[in-house]
């Protein structure tokens, strides 16, 4: 019989799995076949306890994304970016679960296609590396805090998703 994993205490095994499942729900909601699924992303965030999401490095991001976002702001970002992502595949590099702090860290690479908008042609197979640090509520089923680290130049560059979202908003309002 195999010995228990010392990094996963047996008494917390169910909670460990709950925390991990919530983090994986975040990954699945971001990935294809329905990338940036607004309803799925919102369903795992805590409205009762509040939600705070922060993108890093903040100093590399434009105003509006350089601060913590509440639930309403997060919803707006998902609605702004979601229609621009035609496909998103996610390669998980690592998952670390800390039961005591209710924290899960996922490192990943997203490979995605962005739709053509205005004069900007579609982009195929673009890549962005992320580290998602999520803190869950006491049930382990809702995200109350998310720190998202990414290579910001991939989203802020000319023709990237930020520019596309601005053009898309102008065309659809």
DSSP designation for 5: P
Residue 147 resides in a domain: yes
Residue 30 resides in a domain: yes
Residue 1 resides in a domain: no
Residue 78 resides in a domain: yes
How many angstroms separate the CA atoms of 117 and 168, rounded? Answer: 6
Residue 58 resides in a domain: yes
pLDDT at 2 over 70: no
- The rounded mean pLDDT for the chain is 88
- Looking at residues 109-130, what average pLDDT do you find? 94
Pick from 31-45, 54-68, 122-136, 137-151: least confident: 54-68
pLDDT at residue 68 in the model: 86
Residue 89 resides in a domain: yes
**Which residues, including other chains, have CB under 8 Å from residue 133's CB and lie 6 or more apart?**
103, 104, 105, 146, 147, 148, 149
Q: What is the pLDDT of residues 26-53, one digit of tens each?
A: 999 999 889 999 999 999 999 877 788 8
The pTM is what? 0.85
pLDDT at 156 over 90: no
CATH of the domain at 153: 3.10.450.50
What DSSP element (H or E) covers 55? Answer: strand 52-56
Residue 27 resides in a domain: yes
Q: Which domain holds residue 23?
A: 10-171
pLDDT at residue 52 in the model: 83
| Number of domains composing the chain | 1
Q: What is the percentage of the chain residues whose pLDDT exceeds 90? A: 59
How many angstroms separate the CA atoms of 53 and 126, rounded? Answer: 24
pLDDT at 66 over 70: yes
Residue 3 resides in a domain: no
Q: What is the pLDDT of residues 72-103, one digit of tens each?
A: 988 988 998 899 999 999 999 999 999 999 99
pLDDT at 25 over 90: yes
How many angstroms separate the CA atoms of 144 and 98, rounded? Answer: 15
| Coil vs helix vs strand at 161 | helix
Core vs surface per residue 141-173: b (16+ CB within 10 A) or e: ebbbbbbebbebebbeeeebbbbbbebbeeeee
């Amino acid at each position: 019989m195999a010995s228990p994993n010392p990094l996963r205490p047996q008494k917390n095994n169910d909670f460990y799995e709950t925390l991990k499942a919530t983090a994986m729900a975040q990954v699945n909601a971001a990935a294809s076949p329905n990338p940036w699924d607004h309803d799925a992303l919102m369903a795992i965030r805590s409205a009762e306890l509040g939600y705070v999401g922060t993108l890093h490095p903040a100093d590399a991001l434009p105003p509006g994304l350089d601060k913590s976002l509440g639930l309403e702001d997060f919803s707006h970002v998902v609605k702004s970016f979601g229609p621009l992502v035609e496909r998103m595949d996610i390669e998980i590099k690592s998952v670390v679960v800390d039961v005591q702090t209710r924290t899960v860290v996922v490192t990943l690479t997203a490979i995605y296609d962005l739709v053509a908008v205005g004069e900007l042609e579609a982009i195929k197979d673009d890549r962005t590396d992320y580290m998602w640090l999520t803190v869950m509520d006491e049930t382990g089923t809702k995200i109350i805090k998310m720190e998202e680290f990414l290579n910001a130049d991939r989203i802020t560059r000319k023709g990237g998703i930020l520019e596309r979202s601005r053009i898309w908003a102008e065309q659809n309002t």
